[in-house]
Chains A and B, each alone.
Chain A
Amino acid sequence: MSLDLIIPAPSATDEARRQIEICNACRYCEGFCAVFPAMTRQKSFADGDLTQLANLCHNCRGCYYACQYTAPHEFALNIPAALAEVRVESWERLARPQALARLFQTHGVAMAGLLVVALAVFFWALGALRPVEGAGFYAHLAHNTLVAIFAPAFVLPLLLIALSVRDYWREVGGGRVRLAHLLRAFDSAARMKNLSGGHGEGCNFEKGDRFSDRRRVFHQLMMYGFLLCFASTSSATLMHYLLGLEAPYALISVPKLLGVPGGLMMAVGAVGLGWLKLRADRSLGAARVWGGEMAFVLLLGAVALTGLGLYVATGSALVGPLLAVHLSTVMVLFLLMPFSKMVHGFYRLAALVAEAGQPAPSSANE
C-alpha cells in the first residue's frame, strides 16, 4: 500500500462542519433547540462557529432520531455525537494545562486515583493536625486549617476557568455583553429550555425516539441542589466570620435549611443521571469521555451522600472518617473543575450569553 492512499481521519471539527452544512440545507430540526436557528445565520462555518454551536448543544438527541440521514444513509448524520466531540475537544483545548483536561475528561480511573490521594492526605491531616479544641467537625480539623486548604483549592481552579472562558469568548467571536443577554442566558439555563424538545415534552436521551423529561428533571435537581449546597457553605462561612457563629448548626439554621435539601437533591440527581447514562446510547455522545463523565456524576453523588452522612452522624465516632471522605470528594471536585465535566456549566452559560448577543436568526430567504 502506498502512503498517499492513507487519507487522514477528518478532525472532529471538520466532521461537524460537514454535518452542519447538510443541516443548514435542511433545517427540519429548527424547533428543537438553539443550535439550528443559530446556524441559519451563516453559509460557511469557521472553527470558532462550530465551537459555539457545539457548546450550545445540550445533547438532547432530538435531531438524531428525527434525522432522515442517519447511518446507514451515506450522509451518516449524527449531530449529537459530532457536536459532543467538538465540545469536549474545545474544553480540552481551552483548559490549562491541557494535559490534565485530556486525562480527567476521558478517564474515570484518573479521577478515582486522585480521590485516593486526597483521602490519604486528609486522613493524615486528621491525625496530624488534630486541634486541641473545637466542636463538631472542627474538633477534627480546625476551621482555619480548612480554610487554608480549601480557599486556594477553590479560587485557583476558578481563575483557570475564567481564563479559559475568556479564550472561548475570543474563539467564538463573542461581542459586548449586556444585561439583557445575561438574563436571557440565565433564563434558558434555569429552565433547561434546550432540553425541552421545543414542545415541552423533554428530550430523547434515554428512551430512543420517545421523549422523556427525566434528564431535565435530574439535571435540575443536581444543578439546584449543588447551588443550594454552595449557598449553604457560603452562608456558614459568613456566619462564622461576620457573626461569630460557629458550626455545628441546628437544623433550623440557614446552612442546614439550604444544605440538607440541597444534598438530598444532589444525591437523587446523581443517581438519576448515572442511571440515565447507563440506559442511553453511548454512540450519540462523545463515547471516549463516557468514563470520565460517569466518574464525575458519581463524584457529585459522593459529595452529597458523605455530606448528608456527616450530618446524620453528628456526635458519633463516624464523624472523623466521614469528614475525611467528604472533604476529599469536595477537594477533588474543586480541583478538577477546569478539567472535568464540571466545566460544561461555564462554557454552556458562555455559549448561551454569546447566542443571546446575536441578532435574531434571519428568515431572509424566499
Chain B
Amino acid sequence: MKDWPETFDLAVVGGGNAALCAAITAAEAGASVLILEGAPKTYRGGNSRHTRNFRCMHKGPMFPLTDAYEEEEYLHDLMLVTKGKTDEGLARMAIRSSEECLPWMMAHGVRFQPSLSGTLSLSRTNAFFLGGGKALVNAYYNTAEDLGVKVAYDAQVTHVHREGDRITHLDTEIAGRPVTVKARAFVLASGGFQADIDWLARAWGPSARNFLIRGTPYNRGVVLRDMLDQGAESVGDPTQCHAVAIDGRAPKYDGGIVTRLDCVPFSIVLNTNGERFYNEGEDVWPKRYAIWGRLVAAQPDQVGFALIDAKSIDLFMPSVFPPVKADTIEELADKMGLDPQAVRATVDGFNAACRPGKFHPTELDGLATEGLDVPKTNWARPLDTPPYYGYQLRPGVTFTYLGLKVDAHAQVHSAEGSIRNLWAAGEIMAGSILGQGYLAGFGMTIGTVFGRIAGKEAAAHVA
C-alpha cells in the first residue's frame, strides 16, 4: 500500500472475471486502477475460477468454435431459459458484443481449447478456456499487473460512501485492518450473495441451510446489501437462486464443477421416504439438470438418492467420489440410510412398470414406464443387474438472481437518477439480463461484456 496514490482514478470491488475485465480496460485507457479482492490470493477469482467456458456469438467458424451461432438463435436460447424474463435490449447488446470478446480475451492472455470431452454438444456455442477459469483469472491478473494495476488481496469492502449522485470513497478491511480507499470512479463486481447462508435462509426459507454452495465462500453480497440499503435500484427475484443437484458429499463451499452428477436420467431418484418424486427421464440431461436442484430442495431434508444398476454405471461422466455400491437393493438402501423395505417396494413397482423396447442413452428413446403416478418417460429400464450403485443428491447453489439494475453503460441508478461515478459488472448486475433460469456460459459473457463497458466508461469519466 506504500506505493499507492492518495486517490486512484478507479477502484474496482471484486477480483473475478468482471472486475479484471473492467480493471484491464480502464488501465489500458490510462487510468490508475486498484483492485480490491476480498479473498486471499490463493482463492482469488471468485466463481470465475470455477468456470470453463463462455457463450459466444459468431457468424462462421472461429477457433475454438465450430460452425455459426448467430444473434437470433442466441437470443432465442436465452429467451427459452428465462421464459422471456429478459431485457431484450441489454440481452442483444451482450450477445452482439460477445463476438468481439473472444479476440479481446486472447489478446489479454486467455487461451482456448476445443470443447472438453463429454461436452461435444457445446462445441458450437461455447468457447472453452484452456485450463479452465482459474487459468483465465491468472492470465488476467498477469496482464493487469503488467499494466500497473495494483491489487489488494484479503481486502473486504464493507461500505460504499454515497453523497448524492456520487461515490466518494470505500470503507475496507485489508488483512483485517481498516483502510479508506479514495477514487474518482468505482466499479462494483463483487458477485452475488449466495455464500451468505443467513440471507439465503431469509429469502428462500430455513431449508436453505441445507444447501451447498458450489462456488466461493467470499461472495456474501456485502456490497450488494449496502447499495440496496442506500437506495440503488435492484432487479431480479430476491427469493430465488440457481441451484442444481450435486453430490451430497460435496464440501459446503467451493466444490465447483466436479461435484455435479450426470446420473439422473439413468437412475431412479428417491426421497428419504424411499419414494420417487419426479420423472427422471423427462428430457436430455443438459436441458433438465438445472431443475433438479429445486426438486431436491423441495424434498424432506433437502436430499435425494439416485439408484443405478450395473447396466448404466458407465453411461455418464465419472463422479468425484465413488458411488455407494452393494450387491442387493436392500443392502444399498441400508448403506444409504434408507428403509430397505420401502426402497425394495419402490424398485419392484418401478421394475414392473418398465416395458421392453430399444434403449438409447444419447437420445430421447421413449422407453417409458406404464401405470406409475410418477412416470419415467425415457430411458426407463428395470434396476435388476447387480452390483447396484447409489449417490446422495443435494441442492448446490450456483448464484442468486437479485442484483443492481444497470443501463447499457453499466451505470448504477438510484431513484433520483444515475450515480455518476458508479458502474457494476458481472454477477452483481446479471439479474438485469437473466431474470430467471440460466444459459450455460452466459455468466462469463455478461461479466466480460459489462466489465469492459464499465472499465471504459469509468476511464472516460476520469480522463
Interface residue ranges, A against B (CB under 8 Å): 21-22, 24-32, 37, 40, 43, 62-63, 65-74, 197-199, 201, 209-210, 361-363, 365-366
Query: Could you tell me if B131 and A366 are in contact, using CB atoms closer than 8 angstroms?
Result: no
Instruction: Give Cα A199 to B314, complex, Å.
Output: 32
Instruction: Give Cα A173 to B316, complex, Å.
Output: 25
Query: Could you tell me if A72 and B130 are in contact, using CB atoms closer than 8 angstroms?
Result: no
Query: Could you tell me if A32 and B130 are in contact, using CB atoms closer than 8 angstroms?
Result: yes
Majority DSSP secondary structure for residues of A touching B: loop
Kindly list 12 other residue pairs between chains A and B, CB separation below 8 angstroms, not including A25-B318, A69-B258, A209-B138.
Answer: A22-B320, A25-B319, A26-B258, A28-B133, A30-B116, A31-B128, A32-B130, A37-B117, A68-B132, A70-B42, A72-B43, A365-B316
Stretch at the interface among B77-85, B168-176, B249-257: B249-257
Tell me which residues across on chain B come within 8 A of A29, comparing CB atoms. 131-132
User: Which 10 A-B pairs have CB atoms at the shortest separation, nearest pair first?
Assistant: A28-B132, A31-B113, A66-B131, A66-B135, A365-B118, A25-B258, A363-B117, A25-B320, A209-B138, A31-B130
Query: Could you tell me if A68 and B362 are in contact, using CB atoms closer than 8 angstroms?
Result: no
**Which of B113, B251, B262 makes the CB contact (< 8 A) with A74?**
B251
Instruction: Give Cα A70 to B257, complex, Å.
Output: 14
Nearest-neighbour CB distance to chain B for A108, whole angstroms, equals 32
Query: Could you tell me if B117 and A68 are in contact, using CB atoms closer than 8 angstroms?
Result: no
Nearest-neighbour CB distance to chain A for B390, whole angstroms, equals 16
Query: Could you tell me if B42 and A199 are in contact, using CB atoms closer than 8 angstroms?
Result: no
Tell me which residues across on chain B come within 8 A of A28, comparing CB atoms. 52, 116, 129, 131-135, 257
**Which of B113, B254, B316 makes the CB contact (< 8 A) with A30?**
B113
Q: How large is the interface on B (under 10, 10 to 19, 20 to 34, 35 or more residues)?
A: 35 or more
Is B317 an interface position by the 8 A CB rule?
Answer: yes
Instruction: Give Cα A362 to B118, complex, Å.
Output: 8
Instruction: Give Cα A72 to B362, complex, Å.
Output: 38
Q: Known contacts being A21-B320, A199-B111, is A66 close to B120, with CB within 8 Å? A: no
Max chain B C-beta neighbours (<10 A), residue from A28, A63, A198, A365: A28
Instruction: Give Cα A32 to B128, complex, Å.
Output: 13
Query: Could you tell me if B314 and A43 are in contact, using CB atoms closer than 8 angstroms?
Result: yes
Query: Could you tell me if A363 and B111 are in contact, using CB atoms closer than 8 angstroms?
Result: no
Tell me which residues across on chain A come within 8 A of B315, comparing CB atoms. 365
Query: Could you tell me if B133 and A366 are in contact, using CB atoms closer than 8 angstroms?
Result: no
Tell me which residues across on chain B come within 8 A of A71, comparing CB atoms. 42
What are 13 A-B pairs at a CB distance below 8 A?
Answer: A26-B258, A28-B132, A32-B130, A40-B118, A43-B318, A65-B138, A68-B134, A70-B42, A198-B111, A363-B117, A363-B118, A366-B118, A366-B286
Residue of B nearest to A67 (CB): B134
Q: Scoring B residues 309 to 338 as 1 if CB is less than 8 Å from chain A, else 0, what string do you get? A: 000001111111010000000000000000
Is B273 an interface position by the 8 A CB rule?
Answer: no
Tell me which residues across on chain A come within 8 A of B8, comparing CB atoms. none
Nearest-neighbour CB distance to chain B for A34, whole angstroms, equals 14
Is B50 an interface position by the 8 A CB rule?
Answer: yes
Residue of B nearest to A27 (CB): B116
Nearest-neighbour CB distance to chain B for A9, whole angstroms, equals 21
Max chain B C-beta neighbours (<10 A), residue from A65, A197, A361, A365: A365
Residue of A nearest to B286 (CB): A366
Tell me which residues across on chain A come within 8 A of B118, comparing CB atoms. 27, 40, 363, 365-366
Instruction: Give Cα A62 to B111, complex, Å.
Output: 13
Tell me which residues across on chain A come within 8 A of B129, comparing CB atoms. 28
Q: Known contacts being A32-B130, A62-B131, A66-B134, is A363 close to B320, with CB within 8 Å? A: no
Q: Known contacts being A72-B42, A366-B262, A366-B286, is A25 close to B317, with CB within 8 Å? A: yes
Tell me which residues across on chain B come within 8 A of A65, comparing CB atoms. 134-135, 138
Instruction: Give Cα A43 to B43, complex, Å.
Output: 29
Nearest-neighbour CB distance to chain B for A176, whole angstroms, equals 26
Interface residue ranges, B against A (CB under 8 Å): 42-43, 49-50, 52, 111, 113-114, 116-121, 128-135, 138, 141-142, 251, 254, 256-258, 260, 262, 285-286, 314-320, 322, 362
Instruction: Give Cα A201 to B119, complex, Å.
Output: 26
Query: Could you tell me if A361 and B142 are in contact, using CB atoms closer than 8 angstroms?
Result: no
Instruction: Give Cα A28 to B285, complex, Å.
Output: 20
Max chain A C-beta neighbours (<10 A), residue from B50, B132, B257: B132
Residue of A nearest to B138 (CB): A209
Q: Known contacts being A66-B132, A68-B134, is A209 close to B142, with CB within 8 Å? A: yes
Nearest-neighbour CB distance to chain A for B75, whole angstroms, equals 25
Instruction: Give Cα A3 to B50, complex, Å.
Output: 41
Query: Could you tell me if B317 and A365 are in contact, using CB atoms closer than 8 angstroms?
Result: yes
Instruction: Give Cα A73 to B216, complex, Å.
Output: 11
Max chain A C-beta neighbours (<10 A), residue from B49, B254, B258: B258
Query: Could you tell me if B131 and A63 are in contact, using CB atoms closer than 8 angstroms?
Result: yes
Nearest-neighbour CB distance to chain B for A90, whole angstroms, equals 24
Tell me which residues across on chain A come within 8 A of B314, comparing CB atoms. 43
Residue of B nearest to A41 (CB): B117
**Which of B130, B141, B285, B320 makes the CB contact (< 8 A) with A198?**
B130
Q: Known contacts being A66-B134, A73-B254, A198-B130, is A30 close to B320, with CB within 8 Å? A: no
Nearest-neighbour CB distance to chain A for B114, whole angstroms, equals 8
Residue of B nearest to A207 (CB): B142
Query: Could you tell me if B117 and A362 are in contact, using CB atoms closer than 8 angstroms?
Result: yes
Instruction: Give Cα A26 to B256, complex, Å.
Output: 9
Query: Could you tell me if B120 and A366 are in contact, using CB atoms closer than 8 angstroms?
Result: yes
Nearest-neighbour CB distance to chain B for A65, whole angstroms, equals 6
Tell me which residues across on chain B come within 8 A of A73, comparing CB atoms. 254
Tell me which residues across on chain A come within 8 A of B317, comparing CB atoms. 25, 365-366
Tell me which residues across on chain B come within 8 A of A199, comparing CB atoms. 111, 130
Tell me which residues across on chain B come within 8 A of A37, comparing CB atoms. 117
Residue of A nearest to B256 (CB): A68
Residue of B nearest to A209 (CB): B138
Residue of B nearest to A23 (CB): B258
Tell me which residues across on chain B come within 8 A of A27, comparing CB atoms. 116-118
Nearest-neighbour CB distance to chain B for A151, whole angstroms, equals 48
Instruction: Give Cα A258 to B37, complex, Å.
Output: 56
Nearest-neighbour CB distance to chain B for A203, whole angstroms, equals 12
Nearest-neighbour CB distance to chain A for B216, whole angstroms, equals 10
Instruction: Give Cα A29 to B318, complex, Å.
Output: 16
Tell me which residues across on chain B come within 8 A of A209, comparing CB atoms. 138, 141-142
Tell me which residues across on chain B come within 8 A of A366, comparing CB atoms. 118-121, 262, 285-286, 317, 362
Nearest-neighbour CB distance to chain B for A79, whole angstroms, equals 12
**Which of B113, B117, B256, B319 makes the CB contact (< 8 A) with A69?**
B256
Instruction: Give Cα A314 to B286, complex, Å.
Output: 74
Instruction: Give Cα A66 to B257, complex, Å.
Output: 14
Residue of B nearest to A72 (CB): B42
Max chain B C-beta neighbours (<10 A), residue from A22, A66, A71: A66
Tell me which residues across on chain B come within 8 A of A26, comparing CB atoms. 132, 256-258, 320
Instruction: Give Cα A72 to B251, complex, Å.
Output: 13
Instruction: Give Cα A43 to B313, complex, Å.
Output: 10
Tell me which residues across on chain A come within 8 A of B132, comparing CB atoms. 26, 28-29, 66, 68
Nearest-neighbour CB distance to chain A for B259, whole angstroms, equals 8
Tell me which residues across on chain A come within 8 A of B260, comparing CB atoms. 25
Instruction: Give Cα A22 to B135, complex, Å.
Output: 18
Tell me which residues across on chain B come within 8 A of A31, comparing CB atoms. 111, 113-114, 128, 130-131
Query: Could you tell me if A198 and B113 are in contact, using CB atoms closer than 8 angstroms?
Result: yes
Tell me which residues across on chain B come within 8 A of A72, comparing CB atoms. 42-43
Query: Could you tell me if A68 and B49 are in contact, using CB atoms closer than 8 angstroms?
Result: yes
Tell me which residues across on chain A come within 8 A of B285, comparing CB atoms. 366
Nearest-neighbour CB distance to chain B for A185, whole angstroms, equals 22
Query: Could you tell me if A210 and B111 are in contact, using CB atoms closer than 8 angstroms?
Result: no
